[in-house]
Amino acid sequence: MFSDQVRGLCWVNFNKLLPTNYRIFVRNISLLYMDLKFFKKSLPTLAIMAVFSVLMIYAIYSLLTPEKRLPVYNPADVNPRLVDDGLRHIRSNHRVGDFSLINQRGDTITHQDYQHSIYVVDFFFTRCTTICPLMTSNMTTLQAAFLNDEDVKLLSHSVTPVIDSVPVLKAYAEQMGVIDAKWNLVTGPKKHIYDLARKHYFAVLDEGDGGLQDFIHTENFVLVDPKRQIRGFYDGTDPEEIARLIQDIRLLQSQFRNN
């Protein structure tokens, strides 16, 4: 066996016999091999640095991009024409008040049935042939979008409660594909319903007292959170507004599920 010294001397002598270009090529291959060995040894360190860099970029982005939150509407924040004169000065802590109404099954529905729920409110009547059918169709779109979400519900108030009795509401619900567990169509005392529309949901422009000659007709959908706070107003006849409403409901879901 040759010693390392002899082998090294032979290699040097042999290397001198090679053409210059070939010697350069061999040297480059040797350097590349050494670089690869270094890279293999450094790979775990480079991987850790890459992960750390990604985490840092995400953290900085999160700090610089505030989380989107829906506004909380109080009477002072809403178009004064939608708000009762006695409430326009209120700037905080508005909550939808207690209610007790009768649904399409003849069951009593109260605010407690919507406790801990995100819900969408509208006002309609079964004999309406203008905006109401489109509004109801868009409510069915919401029903389908959140069919399996127990924390999302719908609530439609009749503005002609004397005409829209329980049997009438039941027939209308069946015709429109209403799912009883998800969506209540309600009737009850006219003054109570009209007070809810004007003093709690701020859904209508028309002034009135809920009396015999009083009548409201509005395309507004109102979004209410689990704290009974109003979080948005939407045109219930506009598909783009319905798409925005779906996004806002999902945003509320993520916020309240994380709390």
Rounded distance between C-alpha atoms, residue 196 and residue 111, angstroms: 12
Q: Encode the chain in three state secondary structure.
A: CCCHHHHHHHHHHHHHHCCHHHHHHHHHHHHHHHHHHHHHHHHHHHHHHHHHHHHHHHHHHHHHCCCCCCCCECHHHCCHHHCCHHHCCCCCCCCCCCCEEECCCCCEEEHHHHCCCEEEEEEECCCCCCCHHHHHHHHHHHHHHCCCCCCEEEEEEECCCCCCCHHHHHHHHHHHCCCCCCEEEEECCHHHHHHHHHHHCCCCCCCCCCCCCCCCCCCEEEEECCCCCEEEEEECCCHHHHHHHHHHHHHHHHHHHCC
5-24 tens-digit pLDDT = 545 444 445 455 555 665 66
188-228 tens-digit pLDDT = 999 999 999 999 999 986 666 666 656 788 999 999 999 99
Contact 124/183 with Cβ under 8 angstroms? no
Contact 187/161 with Cβ under 8 angstroms? yes
More confident residue, 48 or 236: 236
| Confidence check: pLDDT of 179 > 70 | yes
The per-residue b/e assignment along 69-103, b for 16 or more CB within 10 angstroms, e otherwise, is ebeebbbeebeeebbeeebeeeeeebebeebebbb
Nearest 5°: the CA angle 223, 71, 237 is 35
Rounded distance between C-alpha atoms, residue 142 and residue 66, angstroms: 28
Top mean-pLDDT range of 34-48, 66-80, 205-219, 235-249? 235-249
56-81 tens-digit pLDDT = 664 554 455 456 899 999 999 988 87
86-128 tens-digit pLDDT = 788 888 899 999 999 999 999 999 999 999 999 999 999 999 9
| Confidence check: pLDDT of 187 > 70 | yes
> Candidates 3.40.710.10, 3.40.190.10, 3.40.50.300, 3.40.30.10; correct CATH number of 75-257?
3.40.30.10
CA 254 and chain centroid, separation: 7
Contact 74/236 with Cβ under 8 angstroms? no
Rounded distance between C-alpha atoms, residue 92 and residue 178, angstroms: 35
Sequence ranges of the domains in the chain: 4-64, 75-257
136-178 tens-digit pLDDT = 999 999 999 999 999 999 999 999 999 999 999 999 999 999 9
Percent of the chain with pLDDT over 70: 70
Q: Which two tokens stand for residue 254?
A: 């993520």
